[in-house]
Amino acid sequence: MKKDPIAQFGKWLDEAKQNPAIIEPTAMSLATATRDGTPSVRIVLLKELEENGFVFYTNMESHKSLELARNPQASLCFYWMPLERQVRIEGRAERVSDEQADSYFATRQRDSQIGAWSSQQSRTLPKRVDLLQAISDNISRFEGEVVPRPPHWSGWRIIPHRIEFWQQGDFRLHEREVFTHNIHSNTWEIVNLYP
């Protein structure tokens, strides 16, 4: 196990990506909560692993974004069943820069870019035809042009303060190693937990 949890996570993620039994190795559960503590969880995709955090992109008017804007505490969980591994991450959310969001948006497939303009994510959709019409309208709107990033679309970075690596063991004697960030020394403290 590496002494840097981001490097260790990168190693496990690479191994998950190389395993053909894992269809979407970047899928992660994202847990948010309202200001009063009501939790909500959903699956999102990790798009960038950075030295200081885990980045995903979404509509800034979505349920998750509104919760993160009001209560920036969040948790992530990766579970790679074929490898019998789980990683739990707790941290604080911050928005990525406009430049970083622009750069990532430019790499998306055009249909996904059009979708970002067309979907009013998390709002009530009266009829599916309304979404299909919005897509058609935006295809026409941006015909022959580069699709710019919508102003309501960006990314969140989860800056971890706690990362737990869990490796399944025989007879439920799992290995659990926890990294906790010490903000005063800017170092990671490491402990093992009982399974």
**Residues with catalytic roles:** 172
- Please give the C-alpha separations between residue 32 and each of 63, 64, 66, in angstroms, as whole numbers: 9, 7, 10
Q: How far apart are CA 174 and CA 151, in angstroms?
A: 45
To the nearest 10 degrees (0 to 180), the angle between helices 110-118 and 128-141 is: 120
Contact 150, 117 (CB under 8 A): yes
Among 63, 61, 55, smallest CA distance to 91 is for 55
First to last CA, the chain: 17
